Every structure is written in C-alpha cells, then in structure tokens.
Structure 1
C-alpha cells in the first residue's frame, strides 16, 4: 500500500505509550494497535486531530506516501525479424 502509517515512530520519539494516547483520543487500545500497524482502511479527521494534538505533530509526520514499484517496462530485446 502506498500510504504508510508512521504513528509508532512518532510515539517512540515522544515516549508516549499506546494506552495513554488511546485514552486521550477516545479509542480502544486494540484500535490504536491496528492504526499503528497500518491495518485500517481509513481514519477520521477528528481522530487524526486528537493524535496530532497529543503528540504535538502534523498529519504529515504520521503518514508517508511510498510509491509502489512499477514493473520493469524495458522493451523486448529480441532480434528483429528479417
């Protein structure tokens, strides 16, 4: 997936425990774990806002776009027909 969640990195930098952040945001520790692992299909802006507020960061500090590698598109190198 081209969007990578880096919440765990920011939490480590800020020395924040999942339990404390989940409590502040108002979600379960299980949902916080899923979010940290990038196993969610989406996140509410309200949730993202509370996370950024607690961690004193920007949304871009938590999410990164990593393009998927495109298949090798080199042209066929077979000899031309006579």
Structure 2
C-alpha cells in the first residue's frame, strides 16, 4: 500500500494571487512528516515540517492535510 499526503489550499484556489500564499509549485514544500508513530498512543507524536522556498512569509492558516482515507487536519492559528 502506498501512503499519500495531500495539501488543499482552499483560499488560494478561490482567490489566486492572494498575498501571503505560495504562488508556484515548490514555493512551499513538505520536507518531513510523521504519521501515526508506534512510539506513542495518540496524535502527540505526529508532525509535519514545511520548507518555505520564498523570501516572504507564507500564511498556511486554513490549509488542510489529508490522507487517502478520511483522515484530515486543518491548520489553524
């Protein structure tokens, strides 16, 4: 089975060109993530790491991470 992670940027898709969001592929890159680590019994050990490849801040508030199934997490302030 292959695991996949998807990032949905609803505000960017609705408002292309909005300031503070990644504008091009590669502007914001998921460099590392840990999903369901065996060492802990809850979600405390889960994380995702992003790399901002631009010279400006990128607002990730409202981005949703989801897997192939029904699991998702929306990033909030």
- Which of the five TM-score ranges fits, normalised by the shorter chain? 0.3 to 0.5
Q: TM-score, normalised by structure 1?
A: 0.32
The structure in which a higher percent of residues are strand is 2
Instruction: Compare CA radii of gyration and give the structure with the larger one.
Output: 1
